[in-house]
């Protein structure tokens, strides 16, 4: 008779955490209807038909090991992660170090300063419906503190033609009651005391490009 080995069955997944704090921002009257055709319209001549598809699904974004970053936003803090071996820091966060020599070392959390610098940027002259009236929007990729990577967000309180590579920024959070734990809880502003460089040809070129956007936004009701 051969030897019988009883393998201990390994649990595949971690226990479900006990979620004790739950908030809902759902507007009143919105129900989980899922995907449903809720009506249609047909033109007078019978040649054209439109259908109304109600698309309202509830998604759960499980932040897992990155949860502290989003919880930090609720508290008006930017949390980053750092590799205890090589010292590299990341915002947006990484749970394991990217350096091959660190062998996927687990990172540790640290609170970042509310200061950053512009890595690169773009000026949005078009957007989704909710932000059309705020166009043109300056979107920057900014490096927060000593992070090795950049994070995208809006830069406010600046003329689009005055943005510069490497310019210093500060991070401004929405008031506590308006925060939802998303990156839109904060935006960038030029650092206190920062002054744009003198007028030049490039600024003139950008101004000419965004002027029609300003004019168009004025016509929006």
Q: Summarize as ranges the residues that interact with Zn ion (CB under 5 A).
A: 83, 85-86, 97, 99, 102
Strands (E), 13-167: 34-42, 49-56, 79-82, 89-90, 108-111, 115-124, 137-144, 151-155
Element holding 210 (H helix, E strand): helix 201-218
CB nearer to Zn ion: pick between 85 and 203: 85
CB of 119 to Zn ion, least distance (A): 21
CB of 96 to Zn ion, least distance (A): 9
- Burial (CB < 10 A; 0-12, 13-18, 19+), residue 81, is buried
Angle at 128 between CA 160 and CA 205, to 5 degrees: 25
CB nearer to Zn ion: pick between 97 and 158: 97
CB nearer to Zn ion: pick between 99 and 207: 99
CB of 95 to Zn ion, least distance (A): 12
CB of 193 to Zn ion, least distance (A): 35
CB of 82 to Zn ion, least distance (A): 9
Helix, coil or strand: residue 68 = helix
CB of 85 to Zn ion, least distance (A): 4
CA dist 14 and 34 (Å) reads: 29
CA dist 92 and 76 (Å) reads: 16
CB nearer to Zn ion: pick between 26 and 65: 65
Dihedral Cα 210, 216, 218, 221, nearest 10 deg: -140
CA dist 171 and 183 (Å) reads: 11
- Which among 91, 66, 71, 72 has a CA at the least distance from the CA of 80? 91
CB nearer to Zn ion: pick between 73 and 83: 83
CB nearer to Zn ion: pick between 77 and 85: 85
């Amino acid at each position: 008779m051969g030897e019988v080995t009883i393998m201990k069955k390994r649990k595949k997944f971690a226990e479900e955490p006990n979620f004790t704090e739950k908030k809902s921002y759902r507007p009143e009257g919105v129900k989980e209807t899922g995907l449903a055709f809720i009506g249609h319209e047909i033109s007078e001549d019978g040649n054209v038909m439109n259908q109304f598809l109600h698309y309202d699904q509830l998604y759960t974004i499980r932040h897992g090991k990155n949860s502290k970053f989003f919880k930090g936003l609720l508290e008006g803090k930017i949390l980053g992660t750092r590799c205890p071996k090589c010292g590299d820091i990341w915002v947006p966060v990484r749970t394991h170090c990217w350096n091959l020599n660190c062998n996927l070392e687990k990172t540790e959390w640290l609170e970042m300063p509310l200061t950053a610098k512009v890595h690169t940027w773009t000026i949005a002259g078009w957007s989704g419906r909710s932000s059309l009236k705020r166009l043109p929007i300056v979107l920057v990729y900014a490096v927060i503190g000593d992070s090795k990577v950049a994070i995208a967000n809006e830069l406010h309180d600046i003329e689009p033609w005055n943005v510069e590579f490497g310019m210093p920024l500060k991070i401004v959070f929405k008031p506590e009651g308006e925060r939802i734990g998303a990156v839109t809880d904060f935006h960038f502003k030029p650092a206190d005391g920062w002054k744009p460089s003198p007028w030049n040809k490039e600024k003139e070129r950008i101004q000419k490009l965004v002027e029609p956007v300003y004019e168009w936004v004025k016509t929006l009701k």
